[in-house]
Each structure stands twice: as structure tokens, then as C-alpha cells.
Chain A
Amino acid sequence: MWRVGTVVALHDETVTARTITLKVPDWPGHVAGQHVDVRLTAADGYSAVRSYSIASAPNSERRVELTVERLPNGEVSPYLTQEIAVNDRLELRGPIGGWFVWRTQQTEPIQLVAGGSGIVPLMAIIRSRASGSTAPFRLLYSVRKPEAVLYREELQALSDQDHSLGLTYAYTRVAPKDWPRPAGRIDAALIANTTWPSKLVPTCYVCGPTSFVESASRLLTASGNDPDKIRTERFGPTGERQ
């Protein structure tokens, strides 16, 4: 079933990523971690559907925020990040997914691992936690370069006010000056030093491009985490889910 949402706000997160805030009158509510399908239809009837994670925490205002990363040869993301305007309407299907979700009743330690725009559904989880949960959280956020970090100020503020949200950035191409770790992919040492010890039995949520998810979940398993406690969501090699 397709619903119609109206764009009420647009916010550029980085030079290539934009957050679209939609008001969806018949929105049934969502759980942190879920996604929606967005359908664009051209004048000649051609339509394209893409999946985007919801960035906003569950709320009672029927408000849905999507953060979309523009892909060079994308069919849908250039429109969503450059053309769309306030008051435009978008067709949505969802909320979708009952597995890659975090519910406020969960009290166990949570390990979040994001690759690039894989941070988006994890941000919904972090925002959902901020509404009153005290579950201990850690985020390991792998990103190409400092300018590509999404939600940086909000993450910093949340982590400053509540030390049970641990925050680690891993830069893969360019690290800031004096950064303790040279630019590079997530490896076993980083997993050992910055994620919850497996003896605490954390539930892990890993989201990002397919190859990132494969390698991060392998490292988490190798460091002693039970594969059944690792929930994954893959964006595909291009970062655009089709």
C-alpha cells in the first residue's frame, strides 16, 4: 500500500547527503531501524522504487525523516537530494522490516557498526534511545573522511551528555590531523579496542554496503560474538538499494 507524504523540511547534512522531512497523514508509526520504499513516477508512467532507511525516532507527529546520499549514477537519489522542494509530495510504502529494529524495551548492551550512510537507521536507533532508555550503547562509525560524517554535532552532543553512548570514528581514506589511527578499514584491533567485549553479550547492528557488512560481521564473530546476536542490513556495493 502506497502512502503519500508531503515534504515539510529539507536539510543538507553534507555536500552529498540531504535529510528530507515528510509529514505522512496516515503514518501508522514505526520502530527504529525500519525503512521505507520510495516510488517516483515520471510523466510517461515509468516508475522507480528505492529503499531508504528512516532516520527519525518513532514520534507521534506522523513525521518521517529520510537521509539520502546522492550517488553519481543514481536514478532516484539525484532527484531526492537536488530537485525536491518543500510541499512536494512523495509516494512511500512502509514502514518495512521487523528484524533490523531496536525497541526501547531492550536493555542489553548495544553495539552499532555503521559503514558510510549505513549510519542512517542506526541514528534512528540512537535517537529512539535518547527518549528515555539507559541501555549502554557503543557506535563504531566507519566513514571515508571527516567531511562525510552525518549527524556529527548531534552525535557529539548526545555522547557528551550521556557517557553511556560511546562514539568511535574510523576514517577509511582521510583522517583528521593528529588522529590516533591512520586512515584504513575496520580491523580486528579496532573491533577489540572499541566494541563491547563479547562476554557482555551485546546485540550488534551492522549496516552499510554489502562488502562492509560482510567484513564487519566476520570481525565481530571472530572476536567472540554469537552470529545470532548480529543483525545486518546491506545497501549493496553502490550504496543504493534497488
Chain B
Amino acid sequence: MSLDTDDYLDGNAAAGELSNIFAMDVTAAQGQCAHCGAIKRFAEAQLYMQGPGIVARCSVCQHVILRLVKARQRAFLDLRGLRCLILDTSQLQESGR
């Protein structure tokens, strides 16, 4: 599957919104795509923000790895496209958490 538009950004652009949800920076986190198995930094994901929410796609196979929609004081975070998210916990030690 390939998307022939280049109207995407990258995972860096979602980091502000995701900082409301995660205690740690996600751009440096590695995520494994549940579809193709590639392990990539979240910063490298292809990000689509034109719709009512945020959609992140695997930069290798373009399958959806993250969806975030906010509505009526709720955030809906769909991570079924990610098999695993690997976070660097040294950040937490730096900030004493």
C-alpha cells in the first residue's frame, strides 16, 4: 500500500498533543509496527493532521499505527497498529520520576 500524496508531516508534529497524554517524550521512542514489524522512531512516522484527529502511519509500510481524536472533553487513542512502544526511561531518572 502506498499513499501518493506528500501532504504529511512527521511524528515530531504530534509530540505537543501527545505530551498531554504521555509522561515522556514520544518522538524519541521506538515503535514496532504491528503490520510489518519495522521498528522506527515515532518521530519518523508519517503524520496526517488534516482530518478531525491525528493519524500516524508507519514510514515503511504506511499502515496506521496511531489515531488520536479529541471530542467532548475526551481523548480517544487507538494504538492497535503498534505492537510495542519502547521508551527511554533515563528521561524519567533525569526528572526524578
Is B37's CB within 8 Å of the partner chain A? Answer: no
Tell whether, in the assembled complex, residue A231 and residue B16 are in contact, meaning their CB atoms are under 8 Å apart.
no
Question: Does A211 have its Cβ within 8 Å of any Cβ on chain B?
Answer: yes
Nearest-neighbor residue (CB-CB) of A213 within chain B: B10
Number of residue pairs A-B, CB distance < 8 angstroms: 69
Instruction: Please give the distance in Å from B97's CB to the nearest CB on chain A.
Output: 14
Cβ of B41 and Cβ of A99 under 8 Å apart?
yes
B27 lies within 8 A of A94 (CB): no
Interface footprint category on A: 20 to 34
A99→B49 contact, CB < 8 A: no
Residues on the A chain within 8 Å of B27, using CB? 96-100
Interface size on B, residues (CB 8 A): 22
Tell yes or no: A89 within 8 A of B by CB.
no
The listed residue with most A CB atoms (<10 A of its CB), out of B7, B13, B27, is B13
Q: How far is the CA of A234 from the CA of B19 in the complex (A)?
A: 19
Q: Known interface pairs A98-B91, A232-B44, A242-B49. Does A37 touch B7 (Cβ–Cβ under 8 Å)?
A: no
Judge whether B19 and A93 touch: CB under 8 Å: yes
Residues of the A chain whose Cβ atoms lie less than 8 Å from the Cβ of B28: 98-99
CB of A13 within 8 Å of the partner chain: no
Q: Scan residues 78-111 of chain A and give those whose CB is less than 8 A from a CB of chain B.
A: 93-94, 96-100
B8, A97: Cβ atoms under 8 Å?
no
Binding site for B on A (CB under 8 A): 35-37, 49, 51, 93-94, 96-100, 210-211, 214, 231-237, 241-242
